[in-house]
Amino acid sequence: MRIRQMHEALPPALREAVDDFGHHLAGVENRSEHTVRAYLGDVVSMLDHAVREGRITLADLDITVLRGWLAARLSGGAARTSQARRAAAARAFTGWAHRAGRAPGDPGAQLASPRAHRDLPTVLRADQAEAMMTPAAPDPSENQPLSVRDRAVLEMLYATGVRVSELCGLDRADVDHGRQVVRVFGKGAKERAVPYGHPARDALDVWLRVGRPELAGRYSKDALFLGTKGGRLQPTVVRRIVAGAARSAGLPHTSPHDLRHSAATHLLDGGADLRAVQELLGHSSLSSTQIYTHVSTERLRSAFKQAHPRA
């Protein structure tokens, strides 16, 4: 709500620039809804800071204003990862404004990005992932279409390592049952093919034969996974499915992204090539995938300390 109020309080020209920048991110650069929302929030915060400093036009923005804004956020206790994103948003906005002829210069080009500290991701052990995938004895009162859907959702998340938004965006036509490959549209609408194994194949087959027909309705269209009212399954529901499965297996809170982390780490543990895992996950940079090699190394070091007599 505060960002919306700050947006409305901006001078008309700045408000218009923010809106046009949002259209550019979504329509031209194909940024995700989450990224657009985060970048616009950062830009509105930056411009609000500038206006408070007496800089009321895009031409008034300079490196001093940008650094002052980041410093103010840092003094407020901002995390380094948030600061890195804010710097990226500022550079994207001032670069776009300059190229569009709305600003005489690009002060963001001089802005260094604080190096984000990356914690090792939460990763399940293979036996923990197996426990999540193994359903308990069926409850006679259980809603059968939902139970088979949830099983298929869990198996596909772990088998493919796809993001929750990518899973929810799948259509039936994206699944190649013969080759056991699913076509995924990731960040920036980039397409990739991701294989899945027999357990996911079997769970998906039951869902499509038994579960989906019972939930399908006028709003289903070709969506692969459906919600209770027949529309496309939403990420919030998937998060509840994953958290519930972890709870039933006696595990700590687990998110869909934790399953993605686990899938990547288990692939590397099993000898998969790093670049192959990068392609499967849809990472644009190999550095994003390398975090999982650190996880594997830490697990090896822990096992060594525990088991080796001269550790």
Residues classed as catalytic: 163, 187, 257, 260, 283, 292
Residues 6+ apart with CB under 8 A from 190: 282, 284
Helices (H), the chain: 2-9, 12-27, 33-52, 63-75, 80-99, 126-133, 144-160, 164-168, 198-206, 212-215, 235-248, 256-269, 274-281, 286-307
Strand partners, 185: 191
Alpha-carbon distance of 158 to 131, in angstroms, equals 12
Residues 6+ apart with CB under 8 A from 278: 286, 288, 289
Max Cα-Cα span within the chain: 70
Residues 6+ apart with CB under 8 A from 29: 188
- Which of 173, 180, 224, 225 is CA-nearest to residue 200? 180
